[in-house]
Amino acid sequence: MNEVFEELRAAAHSAWYRRWLVLGVAWGVCLLGWIAVAMIPNAYESKARIYVQLDDVLSDQLKIANGGADEIQRVKKTLAGAVNLEKVIRGTDLGRNIASQREMDKAVASLAEDVKVESVEDNLFTITATVGQRKFSDAENAKLAQSVVQKLIDIFREENIAGNRGEVADTVVFLDQQLEERKVELEAAEAKLSQFEAEHPELVGGSTAIAGRLSGTRQELRGVEADLAAAQSALAAISGQLAGTPRTLAGPGDGSALSQAQGQLAAMQARGLTDSHPDVVALKRQIALLQKNGGANVAAGAPNPAYSSLVSIKAEREANVQALLARKAALQSEISGAMADQASEPAVSAEANRISRDYDVLKKKYDELLQDREEMRLRGQVESERSSFKFDVVDPPTTPRQPASPNRPLLLFGVLLAGIAAGIGTAFGLTQVRSTFATAAALERALDLPVLGTISETLSDGARALRAKRMKMFYAGSGALAGLFVVLLGIEFVQRGMVA
């Protein structure tokens, strides 16, 4: 700790002993630094906040006014794009002395570094422009910063409101051209398909359609076979019942016809036949007829009504079975013919597939283009009557009153400190080079010998007067340096007040 204190004392002694050197170096460094600070132009910053609302009711269906999160990102990227920045330069005083495209490109690249577009929230943007060029005064730079931000807002409004309708109109024209081309191709495909269907009606739709019809026919055949099996079973049942029913009714003493019919009904119910079964329904009608006649015995040899009813039912079921057999034979013939067509003409079948496929593709594409065109037309109508694009300037471009950079008062003070530090460092370094010793302890450490004492400096009256005069001059030089610093600060604040 003592050694550090001794070093500090030595540095302070060296600086004070060579104070004129310290003052001279400080003056030189401060003058150069302050001149460099004065050469830095003031940069003025202007800000604005804009709100973009894209949540229209029809935006999801019609994609109106650049709706969606992707369009928000597009706004952020293109707002400060090279094309828009070139429009800003040409529309403001920044392009006053630009005569060539090379100078314009250089100006655009420089302005791109000074313009920032930040997305604060999903729909809220902050536009910041910083302008500080030597060829303009502080007031002009401040006005230019505000003009740049305002010009960006105007370009954004123009491109996204007025320009959007022009894009819709161009898109409709393009879709009309595409529809005309697709229409010609579709008409040619329809003519070719019609000609092929006229020559090969059995192969309409290609093998895919034939396979579909074949599958449907087979499924229908399975249904007919199931119905045929049920009809044959019903025919067998009615035939068995008919075989057990007498053609005529017995005479007196041979039993009651009503009792016989009721016995047959009980037998049918015992076999599990329901009340909706045709045999059960017919037998119930017979029982009702007999009961209506009083249940008396019929004379011997009279026709049996139940037998006649069963005969008619049997005839009906036989006709149903014959119809199902005929339908089954027709379906089997149709299946055989379709399989024969597929097997006998594979090349024609492949051609049918190709023609049908080409026609389906063209038809689908034409329908899609037609739907897109109608959506675009509706979009254009909505854009003309009401725009879903809502653009609000939350905070208009600010007029800067103070420079955003550089912080000149801080730089001036930093140069002053740097000048003083440079002077002290120069004096201390010179002391180290000349191998002088500021304290007796430093001399004792360097020589490794004991120091018995030190001799103080004594001055005559003339020397003291000369020293006092020189000290006054030193204080005056130091005060002048501090005064110049204060003057520069005052000039800086006066210039800021003139801009405001």
- What is the spatial distance between Cα 151 and Cα 407, in angstroms, rounded to a whole number? 28
pLDDT at 414: 93
Q: Find out whether 397 and 153 touch, Cβ atoms under 8 Å.
A: yes
Please check whether residues 254 and 342 belong to one and the same domain. Answer: yes
- What is the spatial distance between Cα 59 and Cα 234, in angstroms, rounded to a whole number? 65
Please check whether residues 249 and 318 belong to one and the same domain. Answer: yes
Least confident of 281-285, 365-369, 398-402, 436-440: 436-440
494 falls within a domain: yes
271 falls within a domain: yes
- Which one of 290, 320, 352 terminates a domain? 352
When pLDDT is averaged across residues 125-129 and rounded to a whole number, the result is 86
Least confident of 66-75, 183-192, 365-374: 66-75
Please write the tens of the pLDDT for every residue from 346-392. 565 666 667 777 778 888 888 888 887 777 676 665 555 545 556 67
Whether residue 128 is predicted with pLDDT greater than 80 in this model: the reply is yes
When pLDDT is averaged across residues 463-488 and rounded to a whole number, the result is 88
- Which one of 328, 352, 376 terminates a domain? 352
Please check whether residues 421 and 337 belong to one and the same domain. Answer: no
Least confident of 46-55, 81-90, 208-217, 298-307: 298-307
State whether the Cα torsion 398-404-410-415 is positive or negative.
Answer: negative
426 falls within a domain: yes
Mean pLDDT score across all residues of the chain: 75
pLDDT at 3: 61
Please write the tens of the pLDDT for every residue from 101-114. 888 888 888 888 88
Whether residue 436 is predicted with pLDDT greater than 70 in this model: the reply is no
Reported as a pLDDT band with limits 50, 70 and 90, residue 199 is low
Q: Find out whether 214 and 220 touch, Cβ atoms under 8 Å.
A: no
Whether residue 118 is predicted with pLDDT greater than 70 in this model: the reply is yes
Backbone angles phi, psi at 454, to 5 degrees: -130, 155
Please check whether residues 245 and 309 belong to one and the same domain. Answer: yes
Please check whether residues 337 and 430 belong to one and the same domain. Answer: no
Whether residue 445 is predicted with pLDDT greater than 80 in this model: the reply is no
pLDDT at 452: 74
Please check whether residues 421 and 487 belong to one and the same domain. Answer: yes
End-to-end CA distance of the chain: 54
State percent of the chain over pLDDT 90. 7
Please check whether residues 323 and 214 belong to one and the same domain. Answer: yes
Please check whether residues 341 and 425 belong to one and the same domain. Answer: no
Range of the domain at 300: 206-352
pLDDT at 417: 93
Q: Which two tokens stand for residue 192?
A: 């070719």
Q: CA torsion angle for 13, 19, 25, 28 (degrees, to 10)?
A: 150
116 falls within a domain: no
Least confident of 41-45, 75-79, 121-125, 408-412: 75-79
149 falls within a domain: no
Task: Give Cα 225 to chain centroid, integer Å.
Answer: 58
- The closest alpha carbon to 64, from 189, 160, 142, 204, belongs to 160
Whether residue 81 is predicted with pLDDT greater than 80 in this model: the reply is no
Whether residue 457 is predicted with pLDDT greater than 70 in this model: the reply is no
Please check whether residues 340 and 416 belong to one and the same domain. Answer: no
One-letter amino acid identity for 163?
A: G
Q: Find out whether 231 and 374 touch, Cβ atoms under 8 Å.
A: no
Q: Which two tokens stand for residue 494?
A: 């006066």
172 falls within a domain: no
Whether residue 31 is predicted with pLDDT greater than 90 in this model: the reply is yes
**Residue scoring higher pLDDT (295 or 403):** 403
Reported as a pLDDT band with limits 50, 70 and 90, residue 98 is confident
- What is the spatial distance between Cα 254 and Cα 172, in angstroms, rounded to a whole number? 97
Q: Which two tokens stand for residue 309?
A: 């009813």
Reported as a pLDDT band with limits 50, 70 and 90, residue 214 is confident
Half-sphere exposure of residue 182, counting CA atoms within 13 Å on the CB side?
19
Whether the full predicted model's pTM is greater than 0.75, yes or no, is no
Please check whether residues 252 and 318 belong to one and the same domain. Answer: yes
Please check whether residues 500 and 416 belong to one and the same domain. Answer: yes
32 falls within a domain: yes
Whether residue 30 is predicted with pLDDT greater than 90 in this model: the reply is yes
**Residue scoring higher pLDDT (301 or 486):** 486
Please write the tens of the pLDDT for every residue from 240-299. 777 777 766 655 444 456 777 777 777 777 777 788 877 778 778 878 877 776 544 444
Please check whether residues 454 and 316 belong to one and the same domain. Answer: no
What is the pairing mode between strands 302-303 and 115-119? unpaired
Q: Which two tokens stand for residue 153?
A: 């807002």
Count of domains forming the chain = 2
Q: Which of 19-28, 178-187, 214-223, 420-429 has the highest mean pLDDT?
A: 19-28
395 falls within a domain: no
State percent of the chain over pLDDT 70. 70
